[in-house]
């Protein structure tokens, strides 16, 4: 089991990919983590690409990196919106500075492109953001999951089992 009280932030914004939010949320909860949905605004409902709601528990401005053991950055089109929120980026930058696991899937690494978290690392993501990732300093690899230090990346929803397995391992489960 994950150490009691392990809190994991899952970033939410409009147009997120449903599976990339909810699969990690439920797997992390099943493992004993406290999962916190973090959005730009507290209590706001963010619709997925298909309209499925995710209500933020807290705002990024209302929390600090010290309160979390790790962060999940889902894909879909939400990373493009996350990158427009300075408090959301600050949270990710601060988690990175503390060396805490940053798990980004599909278009999620777009958020990491707006930080220095990819610089000098191997990483993967959805093929259409490869150039962005390379320009942010990553060596792009095409595999279901890539772990380089505390940065965990995956390509697409089909990779979710490997993605969450590696995140749980990073949290001390494996």
Is 107 tagged catalytic? yes
d(CA 112, CA 77): 14
Largest Cα span, the chain: 40
Packed helices 160-170 and 18-30: angle between N→C axes, nearest 10 degrees: 40
d(CA 116, CA 121): 10
How far apart CA 79 and CA 74 sit, in angstroms, is 7
Q: Which of 96, 107, 127, 150 is catalytic?
A: 107
CA angle 64, 67, 60 (to 5 degrees): 40
Those residues with Cβ within 8 angstroms of residue 93's Cβ, 6 or more apart along the chain or in another chain: 115, 116, 117
Catalytic residue set: 107
């Amino acid at each position: 089991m994950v150490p009691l009280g392990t809190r994991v932030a899952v970033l939410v914004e409009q147009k997120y990919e449903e599976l990339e939010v909810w699969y990690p949320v439920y797997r992390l909860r099943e493992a004993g983590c406290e999962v916190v949905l973090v959005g730009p605004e507290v209590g706001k409902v963010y619709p997925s690409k298909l309209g499925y709601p995710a209500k933020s528990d807290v705002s990024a401005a209302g929390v600090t990196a010290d309160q979390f053991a790790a962060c999940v950055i889902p894909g879909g089109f939400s990373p493009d919106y996350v990158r427009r929120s300075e408090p959301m980026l600050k949270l990710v930058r601060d988690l990175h500075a503390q060396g805490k696991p940053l798990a980004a899937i599909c278009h999620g690494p777009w958020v990491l492109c707006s930080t220095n978290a990819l610089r000098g690392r191997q990483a993967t993501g959805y093929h259409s953001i490869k150039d962005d990732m390379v320009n942010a300093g990553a060596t792009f690899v095409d595999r279901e999951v890539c772990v380089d230090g505390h940065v965990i990346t995956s390509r697409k929803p089909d990779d979710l089992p490997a993605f969450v397995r590696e995140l749980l391992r990073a949290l001390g489960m494996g």
